[in-house]
Amino acid sequence: MKNILVVLSSDPLKSDLYEQGIEVTLNLADAEVSVEAYFEGEFLKALKEASNDSIFYKKLKQINLYEVKCSSNDKALSLAEDFDLHLVNPKGYFSQFKKIVVF
């Protein structure tokens, strides 16, 4: 069983809560704790419409530096080629984790 899933779902255009999610993810990865990120809701909607030079996209890219697996259930999500995003079924996927933290 995997340790922790950080779910980013808050709207990055209305709240800075997503930044806390990114920081938690980075801190866990830095401490070599098994962590993955999952994008959904308003966060995913904003991400789909964001340009690669938007501030929250740049902050999100920090997760790639730690090679944290990032996932979503949206087939239509198209990000820059340098951002590795996995397509998953949330029902089976969420059950793999001991803890889930939502931002």
3-state secondary structure labels for all residues of the chain: CEEEEEEECCCCCCCCHHHHHHHHHHHHHHCCCCEEEEECHHHHHHHHHCCCCCHHHHHHHHHHHCCCEEEECCCCCCCCCCCCEEECCHHHHHCCEEEEEEC
User: What does the domain layout of the chain look like in residue ranges?
Assistant: 2-102
User: Looking at the predicted structure, is the pLDDT value of residue 1 above 80?
Assistant: no
Q: Two tokens at 89?
A: 């079924």
Specify the CATH architecture of the domain 2-102. 3-Layer(aba) Sandwich (3.40)
- Summarize pLDDT for 27-70 with one digit per residue, the tens: 999 999 999 999 999 998 888 888 888 887 888 888 988 989 99
Share of the chain above pLDDT 70, in %: 90
Distance between CA atoms of residues 89 and 16, nearest Å: 27
**pLDDT, the chain, mean:** 88
The whole-number average pLDDT for the span 81-98 is 84
Instruction: Kindly indicate the confidence band of residue 13, based on its pLDDT and cuts at 50, 70 and 90.
Output: confident
